[in-house]
Structure 1
Amino acid sequence: MTRIDGTPTGPLRLSGLVAVHEQGDLVQLTHCGALRRSLVPAAVYHWLRTAASITRAAVRDDWDEESVPAVLSWLDRLSEAGMLVPGDADEVAAHFESLAATPEPEAAPLVALARRRATAAPPRALHVGLAGRCTMQLLDLAIRARWGARGVSPTTSYSWLDTESPFRDLPDTCDFFVLHMFVLRELFPLFVAFESGERAEVDQEVQSLRERVAGTVQRASLAARGRLCIVHTLSRASVSPWGIADVVYKRALDAINAAIYDAVDATDNVLVLDEDELLSQVEKRGVVDHLYTIYAHHGFATANFRNEMPPWGDARAMDRFLTLTVDRYLDLFHAWSGLDRIKLIIVDLDNTLWPGVCGEEGFNWFDADTGWVLHVPFSGIHQALRLIALRGVLLATCSKNDRDHVLDDWRQRAELYAEVGPLHPDQFVAHSIDWDTKGARIRRLLETLGVAARDALFVDDNPIERAEVKHAVPDLEVFDGPMYAARAFLLEHPRLQFARVSDEARMRATSIKAGFEREALREQSRSDQDFLRSLEVRLRVGPAELDDIHRVAELLARTNQFNTTHERLGRDALEPLVRDGKVWVMHVADRFMSYGLTGVVVLNDAGVRLFVMSCRALGLRIELPFIGAVLRASGLARREPLAVLRECPRNEPCRSVFQRAGFQRRDHDTWVLAQESDLYRDDAGIYHMELAAAEDAR
């Protein structure tokens, strides 16, 4: 029993499921499990937080006689609402155990599994700033529960929405922000206009709201200062107040959301969370109150006024909606930052990329019943893989088959049906096709391509082959579902999402193939010097420009092998460094292809803070010409520059770079260039260097 009355109950405490937001003399308490809210006097709340013991006797001891009845009344109400619980109660664990028992929709497990696989790395700290009202107040527990299971240690900060300064009250320590603009005061004029029945008045209010929304998105983008901002759309009501034949209402809400998308298109750091997409996965009538009140709003708002779930509310659907929402936040952040992305997809062939066995008589890609090339699900898998490859993810095959027969047959059929889009074998960077066990071959394939097992995904229709591969390569992610689900798995996989795709990323497969051609040329050359001369390597080195920031951030986030400190500088940190001329970049080309921006050096006043280079450029031996050019052109070579080199997991390829460049070790992590004459000088007969001075770039 928890009620504060004449019966001894022992001391109580605030429930761990209660979220708090203070505003002046009132404090809003939200029970995130029961979705109940209550506004209490700030004095009562602060006493609850600081009292040594919440008991009837403590109230009499700590409050004056006139206040005691009111305080006891508040405690009774909070106890009945579940916001005060016995001191020894573990109601948080009980609540989440009940959630764990809630069945997930059948379509969810494969993507949920993909998210769980992304948690192998040590927990990463993330601080998210939430600006809005109703929904924002209920997210903290969902964020902690869901993100914790995905390898993230989260903290949150809240701010009431201010359309003129969206993140005014949020700390500068936030890694990214979430903005929910559709609070009651913003929607009220629109619904008043609908009640008028006048189309012109509705159109005028819609246009006004569109302008306010677009302006708020633009101000949020600037306030985020290069960090990610996620913006919620307005969830669209199903019923028009003008009747089922009306189209004005839905078109009006669509127009408001269109203004969000248009505003986001004009920014470089804002992404959209489409609420209707998430609501389509739950029972919308139990979450959004558009059928029960005049506002198309979340049911949590109604719960606020009644301090309990409304009779139409579906607590399970609301919990599911919150879970989907916070999962989407993290997915969008990973898509934006490039963290934990899959770099390689390895696929089987027979009954995975096409129906049947290629080596058997009568195999045909054309489906006479439907008139399609490669009927469902194979056509969809081909398209999904093609779309993912355009994001810069590498494709390879691993099949038990006769290599020459399969590749010849595949090539002929792909070219015959080229106009309707089957994948061509040349769109894969490597083929492992023979009769050996797949696990051992995949390990060799990963080594050849320079991809860690945890950054790769294997797709095979045969459960026996999948089991063998999982045993042989434990860190490899293996698709374990039926082939009809493979397309959705690939397109929805959180580690295969990209917010922006650079030109260099799109060329990744081409550059890998060029690397194989270079190695073939190396084997034919008499010496390394002859080999390098034959490549006709061209380097363009200079200070980074603002347009380079996206590619620089991507390179810093994705590169592990040639990375001298593993410091992950984001866009917000890079922009001032670029403006100050502290970031230098290298563009590379040879006789086989242009590799684009493949090297970054970040300087500070003492010397080299960070040196990163794409692994696909390592075979060109360009790291020493690059660092030498940067230090001379920046003037640092004359000032005994220091360089930091920290041994990190997997960065062995760069650990000798400063020693080879002419530096001497000062201590465990620091190297010094004692004299400019010691600095490496490149051979002009091998490397054709185009150098931009710092003042030229600015």
Structure 2
Amino acid sequence: MRPADLLTPTSTSGTFQRRWREVMTSPGSLRSVSIAVVASFTVDTLLPYIGGLMAQRGLYARFTIAPFGQIYQSLLDPGSEVRTAGADVTLVLARIEDLCARPLAELALLDPARIADARAEVHAEIDRLCAALTAFEAATTGMVFAGTLPAPPHTPLGVLDASHPASLTQLARECNVALWNAAVQRRRLRLLDVDRAIAEVGAAKAWDPRMAVLAGCPLSTAALRQLAVQLTRSIAALLQSTAKVIVLDLDNTLWGGIVGEDGAAGIVIGPTGLGAAFAAFQDALLALRAQGLLLAIASKNNEADAFEIFDHHPGMRIRREHLAAHRISWQPKSESLRELASELSLGVDSFVFVDDSPTECAEVRSVLPDVTVLELPRDPVRYVEALRSVPQLDRMTLTDEDRMRAAAYAAEKARTAARAAAESDPDALRAHLQSLELRAAVRRIGDEDVARAAQLTQKTNQFNLTTIRRSEADVGAMRRDPAWRLYALDVTDRFGDYGTTGLVFARRVDDATWDLDTVLLSCRVLGRGVESALLRIVTADLIEAGARRLTGRLIPTRKNAPVRDFLPRHGFVPAAGEGPGEAFVKEPLPGAPFDDSHVTARLDDGPR
């Protein structure tokens, strides 16, 4: 799609309507996502905005709309249309004015004897809403997004509202704290920041009193579009692969000035003036690194000059140790990105390339169209805003592995250095693998593993037999189904902990047959033989469950070449079968031993 055709928050309502009609008429290959909407006001005008933006991200939204004003019936009645819809995502939007009209009216009267009671009634109602959301989340399998409660656009007290005991603005803040407390305790309950959408548009433009009276929707079209942007980004972050690496230019990107011309003394980075904008940008990048994104460098520069800044400039926030990899040379940026992808064992489609030069950005877009390219604005004070506008950087789940990722890649550098000397000598390579002291712990997936398991199915491309993508709701439902056994793999060695890096999802076909629906391994542990240990432990557990035969399927993709010999290499032979890809079978079990004696492997009794 050409940039001129992309829908944005500033696109007209007519453009959204036309795009949404086109999608409904012919969704094509878009991935279907069912969305239930429950609200205290009418939301029909919101749907084309969500549908159009979702289609732009490769998703086809199918809606179930509850009657407006029936939040509790829709969430709590087992026979309600929303409860029986089994939606992938349920959106709940409410206003404090709709839920708490009577106590709010009492507050407006400013009776000192009733203010405390009226406030208590509002809190009780919000507690009731939180209980309904929690019950709905527990009874269903999809993700639940609850909108925050925006402060009313007008308050009876006017400018006095901010400091009066009857303040509606403060009361709304307290209610949102209650919603936040409920959300952080539930794995599939998230908040959608309605206040932020209103702030993006501006309060004066976000409310439409005429539409509130005539159509029952108090939000303006501009506010609804912004709300749809936030929801679309949240859903896409749950269901689609997100970026793994931010590749950065240096001059006039990470700092102001050109180090090769201005020297270290001429570089602009620090706590004051324009240097503060570059410092804020580096802080934003370090925050993303803490969420699991890797930072890398692709710069046309002299390496010694560049690292002089990283190592010694007092204004730098990002230091050499924060970088997962770098290419500082005079070759084309696209070639540097290819080399970085090879070094990190990642696809370039997981890269976000950030540069201030339109020429460099155009070259990367042309040569590597799978790379997400962020061309920075001219003004460095807008860099942070531009960075946060990249949807591929969104995260809706943060796991322990995300927080460990940067340290894991640092450990991987040490492993790579240790392996390099042994690469050309088979005996030396086996000795190297033995020296790693690899330990593989296989366990059944528990509730706390669901988010990471779903994340691995979404992100793993290279060593993935079928590349079937699954949401947290999918994994949770499979875990509860006795026909499935879901296994996770944790790997450690003498350099550190890789975290949860592998999955096997096995489904009972009949009393003697189990099908390996999903087998995947993070690229961080490829080439170490742990895939053999994982299959050995899983096979032994399935034999105890009565398995005498295993089946599997390879669905080749453009990226999963590393897994294509996995089944034949472990005793599976081609078999007839319907469905995509190539079918395999293995019997009898367990078959010949695998070449994984250098891995100490075990089956843990249960989840971590």
TM-score bracket relative to the smaller structure: 0.7 to 0.9
Matched with 1:622 is 530
For residues 94 and 592 of structure 1, the distance between their equivalents in structure 2, rounded to whole angstroms, comes to 55
Matched with 2:336 is 441
State yes or no: 1:692 paired with 2:600: no
Letter in 1 for 2:81: D
Matched with 1:163 is 72
- Percent identical residues: 24
Structure 1 residue 391, shift from structure 2 partner: 1.4
Q: List per-residue Cα deviations over 1:137-174 (Å, max 9, x = no partner).
A: 22222223332333322211111223155173124342
Structure 1 residue 599, shift from structure 2 partner: 0.8
Q: Give the one of 225, 235, 241 matched to 1:340.
A: 241
For residues 49 and 363 of structure 2, the distance between their equivalents in structure 1, rounded to whole angstroms, comes to 37
Structure 1 residue 611, shift from structure 2 partner: 0.6
Matched with 1:325 is 227
Structure 1 residue 238, shift from structure 2 partner: 4.3
For residues 263 and 638 of structure 1, the distance between their equivalents in structure 2, rounded to whole angstroms, comes to 43
Q: Secondary structure at the match of 1:144?
A: helix
Letter in 2 for 1:284: A
Q: List per-residue Cα deviations over 1:659-678 (Å, max 9, x = no partner).
A: 11111111363211122252
Q: Secondary structure at the match of 1:678?
A: coil
Matches within 5 A, 1:71-220: 96-97=14-15, 123-160=30-67, 161-163=70-72, 165-166=74-75, 168-170=80-82, 171-182=84-95, 186-198=99-111, 199-220=115-136
Structure 1 residue 487, shift from structure 2 partner: 1.1
Structure 1 residue 264, shift from structure 2 partner: 1.2
Q: Secondary structure at the match of 2:260?
A: coil
CA contact (8 A) 1:164 1:216 kept: no
Moved more, 167-176 or 616-625: 167-176
Structure 1 residue 447, shift from structure 2 partner: 2.9
Structure 2: segments with no counterpart, 5+ residues: 1-10, 19-27
Q: Give the one of 655, 673, 676 matched to 2:586.
A: 673
Letter in 1 for 2:585: V
Matches within 5 A, 1:626-645: 626-635=534-543, 639-645=548-554
Structure 1 residue 371, shift from structure 2 partner: 5.0
For residues 402 and 350 of structure 1, the distance between their equivalents in structure 2, rounded to whole angstroms, comes to 11
| Deviant stretches of 4+, over 6 Å | 365-368
Matched with 1:32 is none
Alpha-carbon spacing, 1:183–1:511, altered in 2? closer, same or farther (3 Å)? closer
For residues 663 and 503 of structure 1, the distance between their equivalents in structure 2, rounded to whole angstroms, comes to 34
Letter in 1 for 2:565: S
Q: Secondary structure at the match of 2:369?
A: coil
For residues 320 and 550 of structure 1, the distance between their equivalents in structure 2, rounded to whole angstroms, comes to 33
Q: Secondary structure at the match of 1:240?
A: coil
How many pairs were matched up? 558
Letter in 1 for 2:558: P
CA contact (8 A) 2:100 2:122 kept: no
Matched with 2:291 is 391
Matched with 1:106 is none
Q: List per-residue Cα deviations over 1:281-315 (Å, max 9, x = no partner).
A: 335345436xxxxxxxx75331137xxx9xxx9xx
For residues 243 and 322 of structure 1, the distance between their equivalents in structure 2, rounded to whole angstroms, comes to 26
CA contact (8 A) 2:465 2:554 kept: yes
State yes or no: 1:404 paired with 2:304: yes
Q: List per-residue Cα deviations over 1:103-134 (Å, max 9, x = no partner).
A: xxxxxxxxxxxxxxxxxx95222111111242
Q: Give the one of 257, 261, 281 matched to 2:176.
A: 257
Structure 1 residue 243, shift from structure 2 partner: 4.1
Structure 1 residue 218, shift from structure 2 partner: 1.5
CA contact (8 A) 1:662 1:680 kept: no
Matches within 5 A, 1:46-85: none
Structure 1: segments with no counterpart, 5+ residues: 1-92, 101-120, 290-297
State yes or no: 1:660 paired with 2:563: no
Q: List per-residue Cα deviations over 1:5-40 (Å, max 9, x = no partner).
A: xxxxxxxxxxxxxxxxxxxxxxxxxxxxxxxxxxxx
Alpha-carbon spacing, 1:216–1:181, altered in 2? closer, same or farther (3 Å)? farther
Alpha-carbon spacing, 1:488–1:299, altered in 2? closer, same or farther (3 Å)? same
For residues 282 and 409 of structure 1, the distance between their equivalents in structure 2, rounded to whole angstroms, comes to 40
Structure 1 residue 362, shift from structure 2 partner: 5.0
Matched with 2:148 is 233
Alpha-carbon spacing, 1:251–1:523, altered in 2? closer, same or farther (3 Å)? closer
Q: Secondary structure at the match of 1:346?
A: strand
CA contact (8 A) 1:177 1:224 kept: no
Alpha-carbon spacing, 1:299–1:205, altered in 2? closer, same or farther (3 Å)? farther
Structure 1 residue 397, shift from structure 2 partner: 0.4
Letter in 2 for 1:439: S
State yes or no: 1:594 paired with 2:494: no
Alpha-carbon spacing, 1:367–1:408, altered in 2? closer, same or farther (3 Å)? closer
Matched with 1:453 is 348
Structure 1 residue 395, shift from structure 2 partner: 1.1
State yes or no: 1:301 paired with 2:204: no
For residues 393 and 12 of structure 2, the distance between their equivalents in structure 1, rounded to whole angstroms, comes to 34
Matched with 1:484 is 381
Letter in 2 for 1:152: L
For residues 205 and 268 of structure 2, the distance between their equivalents in structure 1, rounded to whole angstroms, comes to 44
Q: List per-residue Cα deviations over 1:543-583 (Å, max 9, x = no partner).
A: 22222111111111111111111122322232243344701
Structure 1 residue 432, shift from structure 2 partner: 0.3
Q: List per-residue Cα deviations over 1:346-370 (Å, max 9, x = no partner).
A: 11112211122223455338879x8
Alpha-carbon spacing, 1:287–1:397, altered in 2? closer, same or farther (3 Å)? closer
CA contact (8 A) 2:247 2:354 kept: yes
Structure 1 residue 459, shift from structure 2 partner: 1.3
Alpha-carbon spacing, 1:600–1:149, altered in 2? closer, same or farther (3 Å)? closer
CA contact (8 A) 2:300 2:328 kept: yes
For residues 214 and 98 of structure 1, the distance between their equivalents in structure 2, rounded to whole angstroms, comes to 33
Q: Give the one of 278, 281, 292 matched to 2:197.
A: 278
Matched with 1:20 is none
For residues 594 and 388 of structure 2, the distance between their equivalents in structure 1, rounded to whole angstroms, comes to 48
For residues 190 and 432 of structure 1, the distance between their equivalents in structure 2, rounded to whole angstroms, comes to 63
For residues 280 and 12 of structure 2, the distance between their equivalents in structure 1, rounded to whole angstroms, comes to 43
For residues 491 and 87 of structure 2, the distance between their equivalents in structure 1, rounded to whole angstroms, comes to 36
Structure 1 residue 531, shift from structure 2 partner: 1.9
Structure 1 residue 94, shift from structure 2 partner: 10
Q: List per-residue Cα deviations over 1:49-69 (Å, max 9, x = no partner).
A: xxxxxxxxxxxxxxxxxxxxx
Q: List per-residue Cα deviations over 1:407-457 (Å, max 9, x = no partner).
A: 2442122xx56xxx6101221111101122222222222233233333211
Q: Secondary structure at the match of 2:228?
A: helix
Matched with 1:577 is 478
For residues 205 and 258 of structure 1, the distance between their equivalents in structure 2, rounded to whole angstroms, comes to 16
State yes or no: 1:431 paired with 2:326: yes
Q: CA RMSD in A?
A: 2.9
Structure 1 residue 590, shift from structure 2 partner: 1.2
Matched with 1:648 is 557
Q: Give the one of 524, 540, 562 matched to 2:441.
A: 540
Matched with 1:57 is none
Q: Give the one of 603, 617, 620 matched to 2:506.
A: 603
Q: List per-residue Cα deviations over 1:237-280 (Å, max 9, x = no partner).
A: 24431342233222122222222112112211122122222112
CA contact (8 A) 1:541 1:585 kept: yes
